[in-house]
Structure 1
Amino acid sequence: MEDPLSAGGWRFAQCFGDKGEVEDITEADIISTVEFDSTGNYLATGDKGGRVVLFERNEMKKGCEYKFYTEFQSHEPEFDYLKSLEIEEKINKIKWCKRQNSAHFLLSTNDKTIKLWKVFEKTLRVVSESNHHDGQRVLPPPSSHSHLRLPRMSLQDNIIAAVPRKVYANAHAYHIHSISVNSDQETYISADDLRINLWNLNISDQSFNIVDIKPVNMEELTEVITATEFHPNHCNLFMYSSSKSNIKLADMRDSALCDRHAKCFEEEEDPITRSFFSEIISSISDVKFSHDGRYILSRDYLSLKIWDINMESRPVRTIQIHDHLRGKLCDLYENDCIFDKFECIWGGDDKHVLTGSYHNYFRIYDTDGPNDVVLQADKSAFKAKRMGGPLPGNKAGKNGVGKGAGTLRDAMQLEALDFNKKILHASWHPNENTIAIAATNNLFLYSAA
């Protein structure tokens, strides 16, 4: 039986956000991170305006649909007077903590400050009876102490409240780009360009520096940390990627400072293909462990790589994402797009991987087969839904060629790509084939049977 994911059986489910043109979008509304919780019943987005918006599964609807849950302002713009530096309110990452009770806990971070938010349902009560009124009716003052009565409270409303339980500040000299909660649900790591810090979720005024690659002389700086993540099952293992196209696996049992890595995953570069842009395009923008912890997925500018945790010398698979851009690297350098940081994600079953491209295209690949699906998070998805069919022809056959003319695969190769439209952030439901895609200021949801 053919896998519906490989067969391109994806259907557009929902879209949240203003559907206006890209030119009219307010910068603050651009989504900068998206994340399902561990159950998949809740979904969080953060934007450049410092807001966090939560969605919950709509149990009233058949299929995987979501509805608005709550929204709160997580970060405000700040000014560092010592460095004369503006600190943006933009949310760089959101990570959910596993739910222990009726409340939700999630970490959100901008460039400098990480916050632990508690989101819970709160009952609002009002005084309905007292010595001065009975409901809406005003009462005369009591004439004696025997007429005094206790005030009565009644339920007025249920609201969703969000309060910052902890604020973890002043621990990073450079911009925080990654946070990852440990499998023990007690600790987490945060990373900037040169350091990784280990925190206890309950202690906000101290952290432990576990990786420091800052050279004594900053002029000798040759690489920066680009992403980090804890192992999903072993609380002592974490990995971090660098701009030098390598991934280091570190074990916190070895020493307090994990500068000496346990493993280094790196592929030797072919000197023949080396160019002025080699270092930029080989810089790893994102790394993710598979759910079973056996494999590592990494994304650089032009490709996805799947690594076996037991083999450091080369990836078990390399997937070219937009090879047609190799000839346009000069233009992409001029318009700064070459520095775009695309994320990569595993499907809930570890059999598929997803990453984004330009013109709001994104691609889903089989991890162990030739199949891949090209989709586009734009208005054509609404049209396909109105017609009641799957999304436009986008499946590659065994030879990797799209079926029929005019497929999305062919369109991806064309000159007229809009580089302002890009899919950088996405999240995959942990238990179902549902994906959330951040497309500028819109959140798209797709499902496959």
Structure 2
Amino acid sequence: METDPSGSGGWRFAQCFGDKGEVEDITEADIISTVEFDSTGNYLATGDKGGRVVLFERNEAKKGCEYKFYTEFQSHEPEFDYLKSLEIEEKINKIKWCKRQNAAHFLLSTNDKTIKLWKVFEKQLRVVSESNLAEGQRSLPAPTVRQNLRLPKMHLQDNIIAAVPRKVYSNAHAYHIHSISVNSDQETYISADDLRINLWNLNISDQSFNIVDIKPVNMEELTEVITSAEFHPQQCNIFMYSSSKSNIKLADMRDSALCDRHAKSFEEEEDPTNRSFFSEIISSISDVKFSHDGRYILSRDYLSLKIWDVNMDSRPVKTIPIHDHLRGKLCDLYENDCIFDKFECVWGGDDKHVLTGSYHNYFRIYDTDTLSDVVLQADKSAFKAKKIGGPLGANKPGQKNGRPLREAMMSDTLDFNKKILHASWHPRENTIAIAATNNLFLYSAA
């Protein structure tokens, strides 16, 4: 992916799903809270704060990477924990696809407390076209001759896409579930909350094994929480988890049943001269991802991306500043709670590019070798483009009001209510899915 002078790097706006109008009438339930391609890239899932899961299917009839609506179902409903007098939101925190084994799709979705395994499949509707009932109600007189006997006939009426919950995994987390990750063996998965990580077998819903527990005996001594967790993409015994104390722990389930003693810890010592009141907050890791080959780890904290080599835990091999222009605004961002925003990070399918979001619906794509970047904006004016011409129809690709997006992103007029927290990258092509409030944007590059 070569960068061009405009800064768009060859990326073009391709599609958008969601409200395309000018009227800002967005309900909280419509806000997209997670987005995920499956392992083939032919299907794409989104979850929202209303507990709905929407699936998109690749449109083979169109050239290029284009998607169409596949199905939608209600995954979670609002609940109430009467023992703790606690409302449990229906918001979908994460969706993870299981590798396809047959004609049906299987995917995991979770809210704060309950994980569900959904089976999505095509079902043929059949109807009875003839019967011995008059107008479908009253029985006809018995036929006098055998030839008058009307036998019911089944006719195919339509194909529908059905979604049924095959397993419900509940009552295993005392705190809010923020991560789920399916193992490469396709038999187990992990779920993580602030203090514990549990290991599940996909076929067993009433039993899980606690493999990490950092809860202190006295909660007043609590100094860190788990922020993200993921299985190694190839080695089924290895997983990692990040913490609010700016470290990443690599654990091996072959060592012991309880993986509190990590195999490796990745942490960079902070320069004491840079320490401030906000240091602990902005250094908290919000997301970690293994590269597809498992050799590197990508982590995101509030101001930067870091790339770690699994074989070198002393310091990251690359540190990429994302929000350096916000260092002078940390007080304001603390006041409006934006400093606690949890931005995700994503590897490109080739492991040579990484993506993460920013404010004002900007997001950035980096070349991991040269660190050259592409700045794009998921903006509704893309709908007004007469042809696929970039993120902003009225401007040249990579520009806004005649100036580069990178320059516009540094301005003082950023809307901190618009933020790109969730994204997913097609596993085999340069196509990315970006969640921007209630809209799903798709971008592609040659």
Scaled to the shorter chain, the TM-score interval is over 0.9
Asked if structure 2 preserves the Cα contact closer than 8 Å seen for 1:294 and 1:309, the reply is yes
2:283 and 2:259 map into 1 onto residues whose CA distance is: 24
2:302 and 2:29 map into 1 onto residues whose CA distance is: 25
Residue among 402, 405, 416 paired with 2:413: 416
1:370 and 1:25 map into 2 onto residues whose CA distance is: 36
Q: Which residue of 2 aligns with 1:256?
A: 257
Q: Give a deviation string over 1:269-299, Cα, whole Å, max 9, x none.
A: 1111000000000000000000000000000
2:149 and 2:193 map into 1 onto residues whose CA distance is: 63
Q: Which amino acid aligns with 2:158?
A: D
User: CA shift at 1:386, angstroms?
Assistant: 1.7
User: CA shift at 1:140, angstroms?
Assistant: 3.4
Distance verdict in 2 for CA 1:22–1:310, change over 3 Å: farther
Q: Which residue of 2 aligns with 1:333?
A: 334
Q: Which amino acid aligns with 2:389?
A: G
User: CA shift at 1:381, angstroms?
Assistant: 2.6
1:301 and 1:22 map into 2 onto residues whose CA distance is: 31
Superposition pairs of residues 6-405 of structure 1, within 5 angstroms: 8-20=9-21, 23-132=24-133, 140-143=140-143, 146=146, 148-383=149-384, 385-391=385-391
Is residue 2:434 matched to residue 1:433?
Answer: no
What's the TM-score, normalizing by structure 2?
A: 0.95
Q: Which amino acid aligns with 2:117?
A: L
Q: Give a deviation string over 1:283-321, Cα, whole Å, max 9, x none.
A: 000000000000000000000000000000000000000
Distance verdict in 2 for CA 1:403–1:333, change over 3 Å: closer
Aligned-partner SS, 1:24? coil
Aligned-partner SS, 1:167? strand
Q: Which amino acid aligns with 1:260?
A: R
Q: Give a deviation string over 1:87-128, Cα, whole Å, max 9, x none.
A: 000000000000000000000000000000000000111111
Q: How many residues align?
A: 441
2:23 and 2:172 map into 1 onto residues whose CA distance is: 36
1:389 and 1:17 map into 2 onto residues whose CA distance is: 20
Aligned-partner SS, 2:129? strand
2:127 and 2:80 map into 1 onto residues whose CA distance is: 40
Q: Which amino acid aligns with 1:308?
A: D
User: CA shift at 1:153, angstroms?
Assistant: 1.0
Q: Give a deviation string over 1:374-413, Cα, whole Å, max 9, x none.
A: 0000023334x42543445677xxxxxx999711111111
1:21 and 1:189 map into 2 onto residues whose CA distance is: 41
Distance verdict in 2 for CA 1:361–1:129, change over 3 Å: same
Q: Which amino acid aligns with 2:284?
A: S
Distance verdict in 2 for CA 1:364–1:250, change over 3 Å: same
CA RMSD of aligned residues (A): 2.2
Q: Give a deviation string over 1:60-81, Cα, whole Å, max 9, x none.
A: 1111110000000000000000
Q: Give a deviation string over 1:145-166, Cα, whole Å, max 9, x none.
A: 9454542211111100000000
What's the TM-score, normalizing by structure 1?
A: 0.94
Asked if structure 2 preserves the Cα contact closer than 8 Å seen for 1:374 and 1:394, the reply is no
1:52 and 1:2 map into 2 onto residues whose CA distance is: 35
1:272 and 1:101 map into 2 onto residues whose CA distance is: 57
Q: Which amino acid aligns with 1:84?
A: S
User: CA shift at 1:22, angstroms?
Assistant: 8.2
Aligned-partner SS, 1:116? strand
Asked if structure 1 preserves the Cα contact closer than 8 Å seen for 2:287 and 2:344, the reply is yes
User: CA shift at 1:24, angstroms?
Assistant: 2.3
Q: Which amino acid aligns with 1:360?
A: N
Distance verdict in 2 for CA 1:439–1:388, change over 3 Å: closer
Asked if structure 1 preserves the Cα contact closer than 8 Å seen for 2:8 and 2:375, the reply is no
Distance verdict in 2 for CA 1:145–1:77, change over 3 Å: farther
Q: Which amino acid aligns with 2:386?
A: R
User: CA shift at 1:132, angstroms?
Assistant: 2.3
When structure 1 is superposed on structure 2, of 32-41 and 405-414 the one drifting more is 405-414
Asked if structure 1 preserves the Cα contact closer than 8 Å seen for 2:180 and 2:230, the reply is yes
1:262 and 1:427 map into 2 onto residues whose CA distance is: 29
1:21 and 1:351 map into 2 onto residues whose CA distance is: 37
User: CA shift at 1:137, angstroms?
Assistant: 12
Q: Which amino acid aligns with 2:143?
A: S
Aligned-partner SS, 2:329? helix
Aligned-partner SS, 2:403? coil
Asked if structure 2 preserves the Cα contact closer than 8 Å seen for 1:181 and 1:189, the reply is yes
User: CA shift at 1:19, angstroms?
Assistant: 2.6
Asked if structure 1 preserves the Cα contact closer than 8 Å seen for 2:189 and 2:200, the reply is yes
Question: Identity of paired residues, percent?
Answer: 86
1:342 and 1:388 map into 2 onto residues whose CA distance is: 28
